[in-house]
Amino acid sequence: MKVVCVGGGPAGLYLAILLKRQNPSHDITVHERNPEGSTYGWGVTYWRALLDRLHTYDPESAQAIEESSVRWTQGVAHVRDQVTRQPGDAGHGIGRHRLLEILAERARGLGVRLEFEDEITPENLPEADLVVAADGIHSTLRTHHADRFGAEVTEGRNHYVWLGTTQVFDSFTFAFAETGHGWVWCYGYPYDDGHSTCVIECAPDTLTGLGLDAMDEAGRLTVLEKLFAGILDGRPLTGGASAAWPAFRTLTNRTWHHGNLVLLGDAAHTTHYSIGAGTTLALEDAMCLADALREHTALPQALAAYEHRRKAEIVSAQSAARLSAQWYENLPRYIGLPPHRMFALLGQRHSPLLPYVPPQLYYGLDKAAGRLEVLRRFKRWLGPRAARALHVRS
């Protein structure tokens, strides 16, 4: 089978690896528009369950990913000058550059052709049995067949910037800073021994009120370094190619395949960065598509099976991402709580019930549910039903 993967991000590279492992006689090329070693973003988070799946699908790349990742076991929240720690919030981080380097090296080693600085358009798309659009949220190939795929994009209200720093956080770190124009907050996590990621977010009025939208990059970084001096410990923030202030775009598609063209990763769906799942979902898409292509000899059946299974699997992540984005959009509702309660509800932000129950009451209910099995079951039962009813009304 001749396979053309458009996009050398995690989705495209990992699919190439899995298909080549499945059948070394496949002729697979990954076309990436950027030069090798250059990409956007800093570190990405993931959880143990992904690592286990990666070990099952390709132990060699999984081992390299594990060895290049850092791990934390706690969460910490800074609200004004108060600090709350919570044990048990274990996670992993890896630099996006390093992850892509590992996947590219592995793909090459298996005999996949990698063509960098090779931008694919519908006009220069090579002939193939299977064309994989792994070209990210702005996918050119998907846009070309927009009416077939039925893409829908919802833009979040808040704005964010994806930054790096040489400050190495020892935990997943949240910091909320109050300004004269509203709150600005940061999620920080380490991704190697010398660096961390900082994603900084605020409401549109705060962005314009502070003039962040009108400043040059150096000016913006200076303002943010002052706001988060406490957690940065005097270290600088770095912007680079990722230093814009977009609003997050949540993408869904009615269908994920058309003829021999199939959508993978961010080209098919996006989930708000505050749940740190986009890369994991992209890699799992690749696993699912590789499975479907192994299990079905006819391409249409394989692509249909992939779409069917994967759409169902990602529903809960999509819902968690929407609720998480909403939690931050409603920050004023929670930020006045005592910090340990605010932090507890931050951990509960995927709950469909939370937006509709007074935060103090929810906190009390949640605490009680932690102690009483019967209440826990009641809360589980009430959650989806109550939220569904309220969604219908709103």
Ligand X SMILES: Cc1cc2nc3c(=O)[nH]c(=O)nc-3n(C[C@H](O)[C@H](O)[C@H](O)COP(=O)(O)OP(=O)(O)OC[C@H]3O[C@@H](n4cnc5c(N)ncnc54)[C@H](O)[C@@H]3O)c2cc1C
**135 lies in the binding site for ligand X (CB under 6 A):** yes
Tell me the two tokens of residue 374: 């019967």
Give least dist CB 197 to ligand X, A.
7
Helix locations, the chain, DSSP H:
10-22, 48-57, 59-67, 96-110, 140-144, 146-149, 204-209, 217-227, 229-232, 278-295, 299-313, 315-329, 331-335, 339-347, 359-371, 373-393
Cα–Cα dist 299/158, whole Å: 41
Least distance CB 367 / ligand X (angstroms): 29
Kindly state whether residue 6 participates in binding ligand X, applying the rule CB under 6 A.
Answer: yes
The residue among 291 and 378 lying less far from ligand X, judged by its C-beta, is 291
Residues in the chain: 394
* Residue nearer to ligand X on the CB measure, 103 or 387: 103
By CB under 6 A, residue 31 contacts ligand X: yes
- List Cβ neighbours of 332 (8 Å cut-off, separation of 6 or more): 183
Closest approach of Cβ 393 to ligand X, in Å? Answer: 32
Task: Pick one of 61, 69, 84, 140: the residue that binds ligand X (CB under 6 A).
Answer: 140
Part of the chain binding ligand X (CB under 6 A), chosen from 38-46, 176-184, 288-296, 307-315: 38-46
Contacts of 150 (CB under 8 A, 6+ apart): 253, 254, 255
Cβ atoms of 321 and 271 within 8 Å: the answer is yes
Angle between helices 96-110 and 10-22 (to 10 degrees): 30
Judged by CB under 6 A, the stretch of 67-75, 217-225, 274-282, 311-319 that binds ligand X is: 274-282
Q: In the set 34, 74, 260, 326, which binds ligand X (CB under 6 A)?
A: 34
Q: Which stretch binds ligand X (CB under 6 A): 43-51, 82-90, 353-361, 366-374?
A: 43-51
Q: Does 119 bind ligand X (CB under 6 A)?
A: yes
Residues 342-381 that bind ligand X (CB under 6 A): none
Question: Interacting stretch for ligand X, rule CB under 6 A, among 28-36, 77-85, 105-113, 331-339?
Answer: 28-36
Q: How far is the CB of 127 from ligand X (least distance, A)?
A: 16
Task: Give me the torsion for CA of 58, 164, 9, 265, rounded to 10°.
Answer: 90
Name which position in 4, 7, 142, 172 contacts ligand X (CB under 6 A).
7
Return the residue matching tokens 């929407």.
Answer: 322
CA atoms within 13 A of residue 16's CA, in its CB half-sphere = 35
Among 11, 94, 103, 114, binds ligand X (CB under 6 A): 11
Which of 16, 20, 28, 32 binds ligand X (CB under 6 A)? It is: 32
Residue 240 vs 336, nearer CB to ligand X: 240
Q: Does 265 bind ligand X (CB under 6 A)?
A: yes
**Least separation in angstroms between CB 366 and ligand X:** 25
Residue 134 binding ligand X, by CB under 6 A: yes
DSSP 32-46: -SSPTT--S--EEEE
| DSSP letter for each residue of 287-321 | HHHHHHHHH-SSHHHHHHHHHHHHHHHTHHHHHHH
Within 141-170, which residues bind ligand X (CB under 6 A)?
160, 162
Strand, coil or helix: 177: strand
Q: Name the one residue in this structure whose structure tokens are 């005097």.
A: 234
Q: Does 175 bind ligand X (CB under 6 A)?
A: no
Residues that bind ligand X (CB under 6 A): 6-12, 31-34, 39, 41, 44-46, 119-120, 134-136, 140, 160, 162, 199, 265-266, 273, 276-280, 282
